[in-house]
Every structure is written in structure tokens, then in C-alpha cells.
């Protein structure tokens, strides 16, 4: 009888869980994006003071519940020495959000190299990818089409995975076309 009730309880109340990696170089705006996302989708969540966001050493975790779906976000540090740990999370990942600082032209090639290393990893084959051109609110930043052109992986790598590029301002809390979290839910469900 316990098994029957336990199974019914899980069926009625357990959420489908998905794990989403947020990757990119340090200072790209990954943590700010995560905080804004948590603020928008978690009722009553006040969020941290965005002026006090510092470089992530290790990882930040965020959870968002949307209906019967729970998204678990892993925001990993982007410093060069921490990038070697990214692949430890790939096996359990259902989607990847890669954040690019579109205002930092000096580090675009470095970001592209980290992106290529990530996207070519066989553990992520078929995993949906959302590329965010962050800091679109700043003057003289690269446009979304510029970022799309630089980071466009070859069709062989993209394969059957869903891939999208959007412009955002994590600090101001906006996305140009659709809100990324809803898109991620669409990708993983």
C-alpha cells in the first residue's frame, strides 16, 4: 500500500528536472543573467544586488519551477583555469546557455576558442544551445548578427541540435526577441 501511495504522490507532485549549464568567459555576465532570470520567474525572490556580483569561483546554482518542470541552472566560472572543469558537467546537461560579452572585442577570439572546445565535445552532441550576445545596451558592442557570424559552428557540429542566438542585457534584464528561460524549457521538454 505504501508503494502505491508513494507512487501516486510522486506522480502528482514530482517535477520533471532538467539541468542547464551557463557557460562563457569571466565577466561575460553569466551570474547577472542567472540572477535576473531567478528574479523574473521565482515569485518573492528579491535577488542579489547586481552591483555586488563578483567573479564566480566554482559555480552558482539556480532553480526555477515552471508548472511541472524544474530547471536547475549551473553557472560555472569562466576563468581559463576553471574552464577545464566544464566538461565534468556535460553528461548530466540537458541544455547549454553560452554567454558572450559582446562589448569586449579584445576577448572575442578567446571566447570563441572556449566555445569551440565546448561545442565540439562529444558529450554535448545533440544538446540544445542558446548563444547570448550580452551587454547589447552598451555602445559600440558587436551586434547579434556579428556574434552569430563569429560563433556560428559548422553544420556538422550543430547536427540535429536546436541552436539559437539572442541579444540580451543581463544587467537591464531584457532580451531582444524572446525570454531565454522559456526558450530553454521549449528546448529541453
User: Binding site membership for Mg(2+): which residues?
Assistant: 31, 56
Query: Residue 155: is it exposed, middle or buried by C-beta count within 10 angstroms (0-12/13-18/19+)?
Result: exposed
User: Binding site membership for GTP: which residues?
Assistant: 24-31, 78, 134-137
Q: Pairing state of beta strands 59-66 and 16-23? A: unpaired
Torsion angles phi and psi, residue 151, rounded to 5: -95, 5
Euclidean distance between CA atoms 175 and 9, whole angstroms: 38
With cell 572575442, the residue in question is 108
Contacts made by residues 37-43, CB under 8 angstroms, sequence distance 24+: 37/62, 37/64, 37/73, 37/180, 37/181, 38/62, 38/63, 38/64, 39/173, 40/173, 40/179, 40/181, 41/65, 41/66, 41/181
Among 14, 36, 79, 83, the active-site one is 79
H/E run at residue 83: helix 80-83
Is residue 14 annotated as a catalytic residue, yes or no? no
Q: Which residues form the catalytic set?
A: 79
Amino acid at each position: 500500500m505504501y508503494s502505491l501511495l508513494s507512487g501516486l504522490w510522486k506522480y502528482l507532485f514530482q517535477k520533471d528536472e532538467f539541468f542547464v549549464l551557463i557557460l562563457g568567459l569571466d565577466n561575460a555576465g553569466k551570474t547577472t543573467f542567472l540572477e535576473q532570470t531567478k528574479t523574473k520567474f521565482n515569485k518573492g525572490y528579491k535577488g542579489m544586488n547586481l552591483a555586488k556580483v563578483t567573479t564566480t569561483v566554482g559555480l552558482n546554482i539556480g532553480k526555477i519551477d515552471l508548472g511541472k518542470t524544474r530547471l536547475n541552472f549551473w553557472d560555472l566560472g569562466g576563468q581559463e583555469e576553471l574552464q577545464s572543469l566544464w566538461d565534468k558537467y556535460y553528461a548530466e546537461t540537458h541544455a547549454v546557455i553560452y554567454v558572450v560579452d559582446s562589448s569586449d572585442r579584445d576577448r572575442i577570439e578567446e571566447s570563441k576558442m572556449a566555445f569551440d572546445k565546448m561545442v565540439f565535445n562529444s558529450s554535448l552532441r545533440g544538446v540544445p544551445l542558446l548563444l547570448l550576445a550580452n551587454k547589447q545596451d552598451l555602445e559600440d558592442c558587436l551586434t547579434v548578427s556579428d556574434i552569430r557570424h563569429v560563433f556560428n559552428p559548422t553544420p556538422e557540429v550543430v547536427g540535429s541540435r536546436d541552436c539559437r542566438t539572442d541579444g540580451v542585457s543581463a544587467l537591464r534584464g531584457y532580451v531582444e526577441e524572446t525570454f531565454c528561460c522559456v526558450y530553454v524549457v521549449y528546448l529541453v521538454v
